Structure 1
Amino acid sequence: MPNDQWNLKELLKDSNCRLTGQRQEILRILAENRNRHFSAKEIYDLLKERDAGIGLSTVYRTLPLLEELKLAYRIHLNDGHMRYQYSTPEERYGHHHLICKNCGAILDMIEIDTRIKLI
C-alpha cells in the first residue's frame, strides 16, 4: 500500500468502521493501480488471483465506503458498469475520460494533457 499522508485506520474509525483485512486488500488493489478504472467484478477477479478469500458481495459493499472516505472515485461510463479509481482525501478530484470505441481503453483527460505537452 502506498505511503500516503492519511491514516486509513483513523479514517475508518472516524466513520465508525473497522479496518478489516478485506478493506485493506480492496484498497491495495486500487492503490497499486492508481490510473486504472475498475468495476467491482474486475477488483474481485484480481483478489481471486491473489487467493484473498474475499467475496464479490464484500467488494460491492466496500467500494461505496471507500468512496465516502474519499479513497476511491466512482466513475459513470456508458458500459453499464460503475467503475472506481483510487483517490486520497488530499488528491480528491473529478475529471473527464475518453473511451476508445475500438478497444474500450479508458484514458483520463489529465493523462492526455500530459502526453500532448510531451509531444
Structure 2
Amino acid sequence: MNKTITEQLDKINRQLMSRSYKLTAQREATVRVLLENENDHLSAEDVFMLVKDKFPEIGLATVYRTLELLAELHIVEKMNFGDGVARYDLRSEDHAHMHHHLICTTCGKLAEIKDDWLLELEKRLEREYGFTVADHRLDFTGVYHACKSNECQRARKAVS
C-alpha cells in the first residue's frame, strides 16, 4: 500500500519527536523532496537544488545537516554506489531491512530489489554463530545484458 506524502511526513515527524527533534520547515522541505523523488537515490547536492526551488533561503549546510540527522535516526540510508557520491535512500517501513540494489558499471543504471533474500542466511548466522543481524544491505555490481551487447558492438566497430 502506497502511503501519501502527508502520511509519510507525519510518520517521520513522529520518529523525530520520539527522539526530541522537531520537524522544522527546512527539515520538512528536505524530507518532502526525498519522498517526492524516492526512486532517484539523490545526492545531498541534488536534494539541495530541489529544496532550493521551493525554499530559496535554505542553505546547503542545512540540507547536509538534515540528511545526516535522518541517516543517524535510520530514516534514510546514506549510500555510496562506487562513484564517490553519497546518496540518500528512504528506508521502507514495509521491510525490516534496507532494500538491495543492482548497479550497472557500464551505464550506471540502478535498480532496487525489494525482496529480502537473506532471511535464511540471517537465521543460519543466529543458529551457527549466535549472531543476531540487526540490519543488512546488499549491492550487486555488474553489467546488464543490453550494456554487454552495446559494449561488444562498440568494440567491434572500433576494431573495424
TM-score (norm 2): 0.58
Match of 2:78 in 1: 74
Number of residues of Structure 1 aligned to a counterpart in Structure 2: 111
Residue 40 of structure 2 is aligned to residue 36 of structure 1: yes
Give the SS at the match of 2:99: coil
Q: What's the RMSD between the two structures over aligned residues? A: 2.5
Deviations 1:49-101 (A, max 9, x none): 33442211111111121123332122222110111112255545223322233
Which residue identity is paired with 1:20?
T
Q: Amino acid of the residue matched to residue 47 of structure 1?
A: V
Greater relative contact order structure (CA < 8 Å, 6+ sep)? 1
1:54 and 1:29 map into 2 onto residues whose CA distance is: 13
Match of 2:64 in 1: 60
Contact 1:12 1:19 in 2 (8 A): yes
In the other structure, the counterpart of 1:105 is 109
Same amino acid, percent of matched pairs: 36
Structure 1: any 5+ residue segments left out of the alignment? 112-119
State TM-score, norm by structure 1. 0.75
Query: 1:63–1:36: structure 2 CA closer, same or farther, 3 Å change rule?
Result: same
The structure with the larger Rg is 2
**Residues in 2 aligned to 1:5 and 1:62: alpha-carbon distance in whole angstroms:** 14
More displaced stretch, 43-52 vs 5-14: 5-14
Equivalent-residue separation in structure 2 for 1:76 and 1:97 (angstroms) = 11
Give the Cα separation in 2 of the matches to 1:49 and 1:5.
Answer: 19
Is the Cα–Cα contact under 8 Å of residues 34 and 90 in structure 2 kept in the other structure?
Answer: yes
How far 1:46 moved relative to its partner?
1.1
User: Gaps (5+ residues) in structure 2?
Assistant: 116-160
Residues 42 and 49 (structure 1), Cα distance of their counterparts in 2 relative to 1, 3 Å cut: same
